[in-house]
């Protein structure tokens, strides 16, 4: 019998409690201000009559700036994410403690990134603020608002996706300070991924067919949490062309390792719709492989063209 949403919350509560303890024992306290070179900062124009922003103020490559903006705007939408998970998971017991702890940790990411970008003049602060307003006014909504297992599967993949994206953005900056900061943020995202991955692993044991269906639906419809950022398509393409986050990484470094942890292709406890969902997932992974290979070929051809 598939479990209803309330029973799932109740059955998973002890798993949340255990993994919350595990998380708290592994999470490292860190301070955004230590990652920002404050003495490099200068007052801006406007109210205080400082120097206006100029694109030449910073040496960061354009694509690194684009990726940093996407990552920061994604972090900025935290109030919407909090709303979605607090509504679904509730604010009581271990679930509530997790929801608030996770929100507090995520809050640090936006603070650190914004301070770094503003002090180093890596992006136009007026454009950034306008983009933040537009993005937050649009809000974010969970693609599976009434489905606990779908939502857990989504965040497991999404946390790993943001980990990879932060880490590779750091590398693309060529700035050891930015790289250090983004590696720190990426380490947080990894612990978040582990929390949700363990939770869904427990759900697989409770209700395997339902969990399998959730995973397949989420993988098939996956979008980055910042996918509704203005101009996201163009930005995501340049990020993919630079190898910061592309289909190959999405398939091989985000989807595959998590699917392997759940042993989705080796499980012997699936039948009916669960078995069907697993077949759909296998076909989807093959299709992603073909798409990733096509993209890599095109990118290589483009690289050679640009070199001539």
Query: Token pair of 208, please?
Result: 């395997």
Please identify, using beta-carbon distances, which residue of 41 and 143 lies nearer to Fe ion. Answer: 143
Cβ neighbours of 13 (radius 10 Å):
16
Q: Least distance in Å: CB of 192 to Fe ion?
A: 4
Distance between CA atoms of residues 127 and 95, nearest Å: 37
Q: Is there binding between residue 189 and Fe ion (CB under 5 A)?
A: yes
Q: Is there binding between residue 192 and Fe ion (CB under 5 A)?
A: yes
Please identify, using beta-carbon distances, which residue of 167 and 192 lies nearer to Fe ion. Answer: 192
Contacts with Fe ion by CB under 5 A: the residue count is: 5
Cβ–Cβ < 8 Å for 170, 179: yes
The residues, ordered by sequence, that sit 6+ positions from 108 with a Cβ below 8 Å of its Cβ are 30, 32, 188
Stretch binding Fe ion (CB under 5 A), from 7-15, 56-64, 153-161, 262-270 = 153-161
Q: Which residues pair with 44 in a beta bridge?
A: 51
Phi-psi region of 40 (alpha: psi -120 to 50; beta: other; left: phi over 0): alpha
Distance between CA atoms of residues 106 and 303, nearest Å: 36
Please identify, using beta-carbon distances, which residue of 114 and 210 lies nearer to Fe ion. Answer: 114
Please give the residues from 197 up to 256 whose contact with Fe ion meets the rule CB under 5 A: none
Query: Token pair of 125, please?
Result: 């602060």
Please identify, using beta-carbon distances, which residue of 223 and 287 lies nearer to Fe ion. Answer: 223
Q: Is there binding between residue 23 and Fe ion (CB under 5 A)?
A: no
Cβ–Cβ < 8 Å for 201, 22: no
Please give the residues from 109 up to 138 whose contact with Fe ion meets the rule CB under 5 A: 109
Q: Least distance in Å: CB of 141 to Fe ion?
A: 18
Stretch binding Fe ion (CB under 5 A), from 147-155, 183-191, 207-215, 241-249 = 183-191
- Give me the residue label for tokens 């537009």: 134
Please identify, using beta-carbon distances, which residue of 76 and 106 lies nearer to Fe ion. Answer: 106
**Binding residues for Fe ion (CB under 5 A):** 106, 109, 159, 189, 192
């Amino acid at each position: 019998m598939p479990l209803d949403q309330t029973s799932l919350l109740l059955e998973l509560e002890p798993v949340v409690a255990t993994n919350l303890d595990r998380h708290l024992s592994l999470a490292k306290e860190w301070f955004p201000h230590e990652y920002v070179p404050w003495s490099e900062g200068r007052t801006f124009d406007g109210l205080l009559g400082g120097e206006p922003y100029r694109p030449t103020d910073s040496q960061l490559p354009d694509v690194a700036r684009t990726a940093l903006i996407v990552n920061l705007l994604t972090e900025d939408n935290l109030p919407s994410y909090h709303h979605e998970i607090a509504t679904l998971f509730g604010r009581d017991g271990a679930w509530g403690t997790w929801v608030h702890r996770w929100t507090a940790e995520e809050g640090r990411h936006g603070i650190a990134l914004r301070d770094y970008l503003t002090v180093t003049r890596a992006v136009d602060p007026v454009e950034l603020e306008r983009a933040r307003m537009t993005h937050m006014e649009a809000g974010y909504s969970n693609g599976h608002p009434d489905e606990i297992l779908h939502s857990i599967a989504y965040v497991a993949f999404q946390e790993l996706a943001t980990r990879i994206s932060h880490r590779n953005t750091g590398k693309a900056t060529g700035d050891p300070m930015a790289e250090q900061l983004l590696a720190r943020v990426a380490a947080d995202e990894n612990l978040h991924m582990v929390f949700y991955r363990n939770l869904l692993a427990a759900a697989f044991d409770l209700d395997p067919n339902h969990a399998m269906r959730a995973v397949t639906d989420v993988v098939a419809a996956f979008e980055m949490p910042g996918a509704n950022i203005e101009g996201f398509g163009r930005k995501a393409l340049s990020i993919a062309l630079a190898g910061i986050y592309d289909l190959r990484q999405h398939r091989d470094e985000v989807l595959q390792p998590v699917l392997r942890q759940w042993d989705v292709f080796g499980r012997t406890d699936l039948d009916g719709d669960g078995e069907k969902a697993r077949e759909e997932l296998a076909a989807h992974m093959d299709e992603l492989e073909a798409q990733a290979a096509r993209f890599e070929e095109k990118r290589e051809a483009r690289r050679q063209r640009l070199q001539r």
